[in-house]
A and B are shown apart, each in its own frame.
Chain A
């Protein structure tokens, strides 16, 4: 199965598989899609391999766990073959991401099972979870929060009218909290978890001091178990359940009094659920209280469902991608505000850069997605000024590279960070670590896109938005830029001369202004 058929050539119905390589368990879901949104799950598999345990302790996946995980992947592969799956996607979250021997792990998974494991950040995790949730319940009206607690991390996503607005990722998960607190008496453990939570910062929750939430949604196996235990009439996981906050507290209190072994015994829980359920329950209780939610909606879907839906979408529609683009743009704008960068300059430069990118397509031949990366880099090129004016291009790089943006793959984020870095000062050079570490293909993209960004930035050099539009035409050895302006642009003219160097190197054309108001 190693080589998958090209997704775009496949048509519905199609069988897809999603895999979630979490910190507490490995999951597979296989479904048949009749359209990008309609599907029927054929099989779900959960293998309790706790990758997080050794990673959060020693920063490595230990050999025994690694072998157990490989066994699970072999099972997954067999299942996919049985169901004639054509498209799959496998994502790994914090445990794998933090393991120092992750490269070796990924390599073995690939060579032994043909599955390409993709490391994802918390923001991508939240986006996928939200996709899963939306397939089960409507988030169209008002403001919703989705809290997904895994073994190694928690993701809080704020969804406004169906679109993700903000995501906050915390390295707080069931397995990790267990590791941190160690073995203490059960009731003590709950208290210590609560104190740890109170001492942590959740900036996203401050948002709710004055605002009300419509819906508080919980995902992950633990909250599902709690919902089931709290329910009086026996649960059916096909429904969306609602647990009131008092019920949640009561159930949590009941569980906390017992040792994990007693919990497993009395409530018929799996052993790897019985221990983490209390710390994870405490996270739900804490966040729900902070946002003043009256109840938790539990839709019984998770990351693996999101992965499944996401992979099915790549099969068919390009149009769905538009939604993600606007979510990513929202995330970039939020970052811009956080670092107090001048929004008018950022928006103008980004509009000019995108316009140049479109007009110059015959010249650079880069795909549309690169234009979007350029747009993001243009929006964010000055965030580094918040840290300090000196070397602010390098600070912009640091900030962007450290802040996963919703809907962007890691490699794309690094491209954006590099473009922003090269908006001024020294051009890309292999002595720069962040640039050197890019694959050659991305380096080329960075050079071309930074060349365009520099020209666009020069057009609004004095931050007064005097240049309102630009028309670019190559003539001879020059790129003639005809600009529409309001006011005197002598300054920008000077600056285009100075900042056009990289563009000239990349495209062999010297940008010159031929201003006509």
Chain B
């Protein structure tokens, strides 16, 4: 197996072997510094020269993969390529020149993968698995944050401020050391305020940092060896001061790091120290893992079990958190999700969708009413806007677009090719939106009263009907009316008419 990571400051590859017993052994790690991030964040695009340099590196990686006889491979690009306006050109050029298909992934996916690696690395660490912990990665272009509760990720968020931007700030702004420190601290404070608004935590017991700068700090301050290294704020500040006094070349020589990485070290170290202070913890924990370890784990899992969904509970938890943030009726959302799931399960032969789509359906069901927070009028459209601008743990960009569209179509007009947001989706995604929103509308209608009245329903396909059998003598007029109004799409999409049937109480 091999994974390639086209990052903001370099291109890295890991080649590993999956043994029959499921154990993963790393065979080789390669790294080539290339400051793609600096270029994109400054100019908005990648130049032909940089693309050529990336192609050259990837050609060599390709040769190495062939040497090892790699059978499963994956290449991903993060913020530097993600933020480039000509990202498609980059992806296409790489493909034409090397045959490597680079996948541009979202911040939330990066967090997911890194988390997978951290969870594994910290499994042996009894202290970290208790209480609330914040895990973060100060990437080149953005900072990824995840909140863990008792060892499980419950929410995550991306903040668009990373080490490359910190460096830019330092260059254009202050000249003296004190000023630089203040500028970093100020921006970190702002980031922490934003994180506090987005993630529901009281007081964290542990602060976990991942990323190359964190690993550098661990190496410089904690020595090699341990799986997890703890570093203190005052040591980080001291180290940052030492580095600030040097030029990048001197830093590179003194600490044996690539020159372009040297520049982001001091801002990152100052940021760590400030984060320790702001969160009132004693130390920063640094596990020795990266997103690439997560990619390898994911690939191993996919080879072994064919599963493409990771941590679905966390994604659901993130959806519930989002519903809470926007003060949606959480019980209604969760109940709608349960009903949607039941309909999904009963109609598998009709829709032929898998566990990934089911997850998207459940998420959309939980959050479909959040737009009410903005205004009741047109709230389905507000839901769409809010979702498109939110991070949901574990969902890729296209996943989120599907969820946003499905939620948007929970009421009023159904999907239509003259709605730009829908029409601009690729065809498979449009089909998923059609099917999933058809199911969501039925599920939503069944809890029209927002009172979770339909608890023990039996759902089955009979002939050309989707029969929803409900026990007890409740008056179902409201639900029937809602079903009449919202069930049309279901009938159009699946050729099944949803009907509510009261079965006598047993």
Contacts and interface: CB of A to CB of B under 8 A. Distances in A.
Does B associate with A? yes
Nearest to A490: B179
Given A171-B376, A195-B478, A494-B174, A463 B179 contact: no
A191 B477 contact: yes
Nearest to B378: A402
Interface string A475-491: 00000000000000011
Contact of A491 (B186, B191, B382): B186
A196 B183 contact: no
B173 interface: yes
A234 interface: no
Interface string A7-21: 000000000000000
B477 A192 contact: yes
A169 B372 CA distance: 12
B377 A386 contact: no
B368 to A, nearest CB: 13
A340 interface: yes
A103 interface: no
Most buried by A among B390, B391, B481: B481
Contacts of B190: 463
A403 B179 contact: no
Contacts of A188: 477
B385 interface: yes
B448 interface: yes
Interface string A168-192: 0111000000001110100010011
Nearest to B449: A199
B103 interface: no
B197 A385 contact: yes
Contact of A388 (B174, B198, B375): B198
Contact of B450 (A199, A203, A387): A199
B244 to A, nearest CB: 17
A340 B390 CA distance: 17
Given A169-B377, A170-B376, A182-B481, A387 B186 contact: no
Contacts of B246: none
Contacts of A390: 142, 158-160
Contact of B375 (A391, A402, A490): A402
A13 B124 CA distance: 87
Contact of A387 (B142, B172, B389): B389
B140 to A, nearest CB: 15
A385 B198 CA distance: 10
B182 interface: yes
B449 A195 contact: yes
Interface of A is mostly: helix
A402 B179 contact: no
A385 B451 CA distance: 33
Contacts of B423: none
B449 A201 contact: no
Contacts of B142: 390
A196 B449 CA distance: 7
Contacts of A387: 386, 389-390
Contacts of A196: 478
Contacts of B198: 388-389
B386 A389 contact: no
Contacts of B385: 398
Nearest to A387: B389
Contacts, number: 83
B502 interface: no
Interface residues of A, number: 37
Nearest to A172: B376
A171 B172 CA distance: 51
A200 B475 CA distance: 19
B197 to A, nearest CB: 6
A201 B160 contact: no
B194 interface: yes
Interface string B240-281: 000000000000000000000000000000000000000000
Contacts of B172: 498
A170 B194 CA distance: 32
A245 interface: no
B329 interface: yes
B478 to A, nearest CB: 4
A491 B183 contact: yes
Contacts of A198: 449-451
Contact of A490 (B158, B174, B194, B478): B174
A196 B183 CA distance: 54
A498 B172 CA distance: 9
Contacts of B478: 192, 195-196, 199
A399 interface: yes
A81 interface: no
A330 to B, nearest CB: 18
Contacts of B481: 180-182, 192
A387 B157 CA distance: 11
A462 B186 contact: yes
B374 interface: yes
A191 B183 CA distance: 62
A376 B335 CA distance: 40
Interface in B368-409: 372, 374-378, 382, 385-386, 389-391
Interface in B158-188: 158-161, 172-174, 179, 182-183, 186
Nearest to B325: A386
A388 B186 contact: no
Contacts of A122: 377
Contacts of A388: 157, 198, 389-391
Nearest to B107: A390
Interface in A248-286: none
Nearest to B329: A201
A223 B183 CA distance: 61
Interface string A387-405: 1111100010011001100
Contact of A403 (B159, B174, B194, B375): B375
A200 B327 CA distance: 13
A188 B481 CA distance: 12
A402 B378 CA distance: 9
B129 to A, nearest CB: 29
A403 B377 CA distance: 10
B24 to A, nearest CB: 34
A403 B374 contact: yes
A403 B371 CA distance: 12
A463 B190 CA distance: 9
B182 A199 contact: no
Nearest to B373: A338
Contacts of A391: 160, 389
Interface in A371-421: 385-391, 395, 398-399, 402-403
Contacts of B191: 389
Contacts of A398: 374, 385
Interface string B439-472: 0000000001111000000000000000000000
Interface string A88-124: 0000000000000000000000000000000000100
B401 to A, nearest CB: 16
Nearest to B172: A498
Interface string B475-501: 101100100010000000000000000
8 contacts: A169-B375, A180-B485, A199-B450, A385-B194, A389-B191, A390-B142, A391-B389, A494-B173
Interface of A: 122, 169-171, 180-182, 184, 188, 191-192, 195-196, 198-201, 203, 340, 385-391, 395, 398-399, 402-403, 462-463, 490-491, 494, 498
Interface of B: 142, 157-161, 172-174, 179, 182-183, 186, 190-191, 194, 197-198, 327, 329, 372, 374-378, 382, 385-386, 389-391, 448-451, 475, 477-478, 481, 485
The 6 closest A-B pairs by CB, nearest first: A390-B160, A389-B194, A199-B450, A195-B478, A494-B173, A199-B449
Given A388-B157, A389-B191, A490-B182, 16 more contacts: A171-B376, A182-B481, A191-B475, A192-B477, A199-B449, A203-B327, A389-B159, A389-B194, A390-B159, A398-B385, A402-B382, A403-B374, A490-B174, A490-B179, A494-B174, A498-B172
